[in-house]
A and B are shown apart, each in its own frame.
Chain A
Amino acid sequence: MSATAIHAKHRARLQQRQNWLWRGILILSLCTGGWLIRDLEWGALWPSAGFIAKGLGASILLSVLSIGLGFLVAIPMAAARAYGARPLKSIAVACIESIRCTPELMVIFWVYFGVPRITGNPVDGWFAAIFSMTLVAAAYMAEIIRAGLKSVNIGQWEAGRATGLRDIQIFSRIILPQALKNMLMALLSQSVMLFKTTSLVYIVGVIEFFRAMQIVNNRVYAPFATYALLAIVYFICCWLITRLEGLIKQHRQ
């Protein structure tokens, strides 16, 4: 660390220049990257573009469904763990922690192998996929929501009770909205993670993005292009959600 004799205004200008330089470097490397990989076997993949797009659509649909359903399931689970009496709380803890500590693949197997045994009928892949992804989503989001509930000032409960509101009303109208606002960032991060996890459901026969690419690759043998495309698409999807997070944070301030 050497003492600089640069005036403060210069320092700010330097930072700005560094930022632009970095953006320039990024764009340049993207362009060179694009130039370098243009020789990959994209042509082989192109005919199957529709199929691949359908796969991507399936991934997104699956993610949206399981995040939505998982969220709805997570709210009572979180409430049970946060406010429940001893027995209820222990059940909630057991459910949440056992799902959180088992591999996602095993949860998929649980649903896929276990449900038919209970109901006597086989399950179709999509059902198993949605069910298991919802369970995983619910378990993780329950923890986040629980943290959110705890972060709401206890005075809010007191204010609600003092005006004669019932607990369930206080919870749904006063506590929960505040908790969700606090936890929005964490929930979005969790959604990114869930989107990535959907790549596992192909094991039960669902043709989502990852599996679609594999099928195409097996047919036309274009491994470099395949994995390059996989990496790029996943990166862009996740990065978009992260940018959304950033925008929301800025908008808040």
Chain B
Amino acid sequence: MTLDWTVIWQYREEVAKGLWMTIQISGLSILFSTAVGLSIGGLRVIPNFFLQKILGLYLDVIRNIPAVVKLFAIHFVVGLDAFAAGVLALSLHQSAYIADVMSSSLNALPKGQLEASLATGLSHAQAFRRVLLPQALRIAIPPLSTQFVQIVKNSAIVMLISLEDLTFVTSHIQLETFRGMEASIVVTFLYLLIAFAIIVSMNLIQAWSNRRFQ
């Protein structure tokens, strides 16, 4: 088996475009899913019975349906264009897991923090915003990092609705030149690079927050 890398060089523009598409979709999905996930996760600690049951059900439904099904449903049935459908489906999917990360971070805090803030007359909302949330976010950084890498990985499914991301480019190269193996190697390397960039950035954020909050 001989590896012919020149083919990849020929397709470098396509690969670059694919990379950009993957970055765009992943980036937007990271933003939206984190926003939604943090909010739902925050809601998960309110002790209202029915609220929790409803939230739990909502999260269960999202978690148990594969991301591809959601993607296709949003694109073909709801009718959104491929890019929007991709971002929406990915964000929806991952927000359920991020909500879990958030609620377990909040639950990991010592109960005394809430008690102390309530005892000085803070409202629940004030206590949440000023005391609980900052601490929970710090705890949440490592698992959030994992979630973000998951988003990048899941972004590959958008090729199935013909969005030209890295995975699409791989398949495209195989179809035209039968050099799918080389393409796979390069594209996998690029995915790993993105994942690495995310992990390093999150580590930096963690280090910064440790310094700032001592």
Contacts and interface: CB of A to CB of B under 8 A. Distances in A.
Tell me if chains A and B make direct contact, with any CB pair below 8 A: yes
Interface of A: 15, 18, 22, 26, 98, 101-106, 109-110, 112-114, 117-118, 192, 196-197, 199-200, 203, 210, 214, 223-224, 227, 230-231, 234-235, 237-239, 242
Nearest to A197: B66
Contacts of B159: 105
Interface residues of B, number: 40
B188 interface: yes
Interface in B138-172: 149, 152-157, 159-160, 167, 170-171
**Lowest 4 A-B CB distances belong to which pairs?**
A113-B180, A103-B156, A238-B64, A196-B66
A109 B69 CA distance: 20
**What does DSSP make chain B's interface, helix, strand, loop or mixed?**
helix
A122 to B, nearest CB: 11
Interface stretch (B7-15, B70-78, B128-136, B205-213): B70-78
Q: Main SS of the interface on chain A?
A: helix
Given A98-B192, A105-B156, A113-B180, 14 more contacts: A101-B195, A103-B157, A104-B153, A106-B184, A109-B167, A113-B181, A113-B184, A114-B180, A114-B184, A197-B66, A210-B69, A231-B61, A239-B60, A239-B64
B192 A101 contact: yes
A234 B77 CA distance: 18
Given A101-B149, A106-B156, A197-B66, A231 B73 contact: yes
B125 interface: no
| Residue among A22, A101, A110, A214 having the largest count of chain B Cβ atoms under 10 Å | A101
Contacts of B66: 196-197, 199, 210, 234
Given A227-B73, A234-B66, A109 B149 contact: no
A22 B160 contact: no
Contact of B187 (A26, A106, A224, A235): A106
B1 interface: yes
9 contacts: A18-B49, A98-B188, A102-B188, A103-B167, A106-B170, A109-B171, A114-B180, A230-B65, A231-B65
A227 B69 contact: yes
